[in-house]
Amino acid sequence: SSSTWFGPGGEATLAGVPLVRIAQEFGTPAYVLDETDVRLRCRAYRSALPRAEIAYAAKAFLCRAMADWVRAEGLSLDVCSGGELAVALSAGFPAGRIIFHGNAKTPRELQTAVAEGVGRIVIDNIAEIGRLAALVPLGRRQKVLVRVVPDIAAGAHAAVRTGREDQQFGLSIASGAAGEAVARVLAQPALVLAGLHCHLGSQITAVEPYEDAARVLVEQMARIRETHGVVLPELDLGGGHGIAYLHGERGLDLASLAARLTAAVEDRCAGLGLPAPRLIVEPGRAISGPAGLTLYRVISVKKALNHTYVAVDGGMSDNPRHALYGSPYEVRLVGRRPQGGMRTVTVVGHHCETGDTIAENVPLPADVHPGDLIAVAATGAYHHSMASSYNLTGRPPIVAVGPEGARLLVRREEAGDLMRRDVGL
Ligand code: LLP
């Protein structure tokens, strides 16, 4: 549930701050993020899984303030690029609590990760094992996890399913690649194998795939003990916890995930005579997604033959998810009382292609007109982090709201920012 409140007069607030005031002060489009909501979601994870390590997946959304909130709430951080690592470190995030992911980490990223003392690096291919070991200074050992493919189908869209065979992430158990990676890591004195990792996919709303994955990975841990005589202390089941985007939709139930996942791991371990490893989960969307919304200004309302198009001052550059995955969104009029009924419209952006749609066939008040303010909910994850400057539109600012009101976290990208990288004629 998000903390947005829509009153009968169209007045809408986030964390008590009127959205109209945010639009006036910071302009549109703008991403608005409820700090308290983010923090409460961090706490909900910690209390649902008190013995587990909760690593927030930075790819969902990261800026320095966000890294600071996550640190203060006692979470770890999952990063998947040198850029995310740099932002986290510059916010003072402790390197030891960072997990570094990626199927194609560059030698430079690996070098920075080792030099900065990143807690765990996730091995996702054979080539990086030797490459990584060579970077570890004498007298030190780098902890790693090996990412395996559990061969489980889960995830809202083909583009975000990563748990099956024959996609580019993780090492296949069936092909023997996972076993080879484990043997090679164990043969490197500079590396310590802390455990296994998998990530099934994203926007998953059922618990079963996680239970299945836990069993598959525990069985692999038992095999590793048989083959190599080592007991691995950690089991990282990745993220992918789904959220509600639409009214009445339900995300993954955290309480039931916690109970059933813990039981699946303990039961399977007991059956195999293994000590239960420490669980790690990596929620991204479930921490920041519901805490954010996007504010747009309506620029035009156009009647086509069979559709009405409401065009706003943002679009696929701040929300590419409809274009990429066909993701549905709801749109709300903000800041005035509508006259008359509702009509079905398609909300589009200002970019130069037909696919630039934010919400297709959604209800908006029939009197929606240029100048109106509209809000799109649940945009706190994979919106700013996936934003582009397509058509040389600057990316929107991020405004945090909290008990002290509204404050800017990341300012709007202006033409000057866009030109700073252009070295000239
Ligand atoms: N851990 C790993 C290794 C991941 O690859 C991901 C997401 C996560 C954790 C966090 O997943 P989450 O809990 O946020 O679902 N751009 C897509 C989502 C791609 C997710 C990629 N990996 C979207 O907008 O739906």
SS (H, E, C) 134-190: HHCCCCCCEEEEEEEECCCCCCCCHHHECCCCCCCCCEECCCCHHHHHHHHHHCCCC
How remote is the CA of residue 201 from the centroid of ligand 1, in Å? 7
309 has binding-site annotation: no
Q: From the centroid of its chain, how far is CA 302?
A: 35
Unique residue bearing structure tokens 């990223």 = 109
- Ligand 1 atom at shortest distance from the alpha carbon of 101: 3
- Ligand 1 atom at shortest distance from the alpha carbon of 204: 15
282 has binding-site annotation: yes
Q: Are strands 234-236 and 4-6 parallel, antiparallel or unpaired?
A: unpaired
260 has binding-site annotation: no
Question: pTM of the predicted model, to two decimals?
Answer: 0.97
- Ligand 1 atom at shortest distance from the alpha carbon of 382: 24
- Give dist(CA 94, CA 88) in Å, integer: 8
Unique residue bearing structure tokens 């709201």 = 401
Q: Whose CA is nearest to atom 23 of ligand 1?
A: 382
- Give dist(CA 97, CA 119) in Å, integer: 6
User: Average pLDDT of 33-46?
Assistant: 98
How remote is the CA of residue 337 from the centroid of ligand 1, in Å? 38
Q: From the centroid of its chain, how far is CA 249?
A: 19
For helices 177-186 and 208-228, give the axis angle rounded to 10 degrees.
50
How remote is the CA of residue 246 from the centroid of ligand 1, in Å? 19
Residue 155: pLDDT band by 50, 70, 90 thresholds? Answer: confident
Please list, residue by residue across 39-50, b when 16 or more beta carbons sit within 10 angstroms of its beta carbon and e when fewer do: bebbebbeebbe
- Give dist(CA 123, CA 170) in Å, integer: 8
Q: Is the ipTM of this complex over 0.85?
A: yes
pLDDT score recorded for residue 37: 97
pLDDT value at 2 more than 70: no
Give per-residue pLDDT as tens, 241-275.
Answer: 999 999 899 999 999 999 999 999 999 999 999 99
Nearest to 406 by CA among 64, 1, 19, 7: 19
pLDDT score recorded for residue 159: 85
Backbone torsion region of residue 382, taken as left when φ is above 0, otherwise alpha when ψ lies between -120 and 50, otherwise beta? left
- CATH fold of the domain at 62-283: TIM Barrel (3.20.20)
- Ligand 1 atom at shortest distance from the alpha carbon of 327: 25
Structure tokens at 167: 């996609």
404 has binding-site annotation: no
Give per-residue pLDDT as tens, 171-220.
Answer: 999 999 999 999 999 999 999 999 999 999 999 999 999 999 999 999 99
360 has binding-site annotation: no
Give per-residue pLDDT as tens, 63-107.
Answer: 999 999 999 999 999 999 999 999 999 999 999 999 999 999 999
User: Average pLDDT of 369-373?
Assistant: 98
pLDDT value at 8 more than 60: yes
How remote is the CA of residue 368 from the centroid of ligand 1, in Å? 35
User: Is the Cβ–Cβ distance between 349 and 278 less than 8 Å?
Assistant: no
In this structure, the residues whose C-beta lies within 6 A of any atom of ligand 1 are: 57, 59-60, 78, 101, 160, 199, 202-203, 238-241, 282-286, 321, 381-382, 386
Q: What is the best residue among 45, 59, 384 to mutate for testing ligand 1's pocket, by most ligand atoms within 8 Å of CB?
A: 59
332 has binding-site annotation: no
How remote is the CA of residue 380 from the centroid of ligand 1, in Å? 13
Nearest to 379 by CA among 331, 312, 347, 310: 331
Give CATH superfamily name and number for 4-32+289-420: Lyase, Ornithine Decarboxylase; Chain A, domain 1 (2.40.37.10)
43 has binding-site annotation: no
80 has catalytic annotation? no
- Give dist(CA 221, CA 268) in Å, integer: 11
DSSP tag of 248: T
How high does pLDDT run on average in the chain?
96
pLDDT score recorded for residue 1: 43
- Give dist(CA 241, CA 287) in Å, integer: 9
- In percent, how much of the chain has pLDDT > 90? 94
How remote is the CA of residue 67 from the centroid of ligand 1, in Å? 17
Active-site residue, selected from the candidate residues 63, 80, 198, 352: 352
- Ligand 1 atom at shortest distance from the alpha carbon of 289: 14
Q: What is the best residue among 54, 103, 202, 236 to mutate for testing ligand 1's pocket, by most ligand atoms within 8 Å of CB?
A: 202
Rg of the chain over Cα atoms, rounded to whole angstroms, equals 23
Q: Whose CA is nearest to atom 6 of ligand 1?
A: 239
How remote is the CA of residue 381 from the centroid of ligand 1, in Å? 9
Give per-residue pLDDT as tens, 106-147.
Answer: 999 999 999 999 999 999 999 999 999 999 999 999 999 999
Segments making up each domain of the chain, as ranges: 4-32+289-420, 62-283
User: Is the Cβ–Cβ distance between 169 and 208 less than 8 Å?
Assistant: no
pLDDT score recorded for residue 75: 98
- Ligand 1 atom at shortest distance from the alpha carbon of 242: 15
Residue 4: pLDDT band by 50, 70, 90 thresholds? Answer: confident
CA distances (Å), origin 311, targets 180, 302, 342, 354, 378:
54, 8, 17, 12, 20
Q: Whose CA is nearest to atom 9 of ligand 1?
A: 239
| Long-range contact set of residues 257-265: C-beta below 8 Å, sequence gap at least 24 | 257/48, 257/207, 257/210, 258/48, 258/49, 260/207, 260/210, 260/211, 261/207, 261/210, 261/211, 261/214, 261/237, 262/49, 264/210, 264/211, 264/214, 264/215, 265/214, 265/218, 265/235
pLDDT score recorded for residue 3: 64
Q: Are strands 17-18 and 30-34 parallel, antiparallel or unpaired?
A: unpaired
User: Average pLDDT of 14-28?
Assistant: 96
- Give dist(CA 211, CA 263) in Å, integer: 9
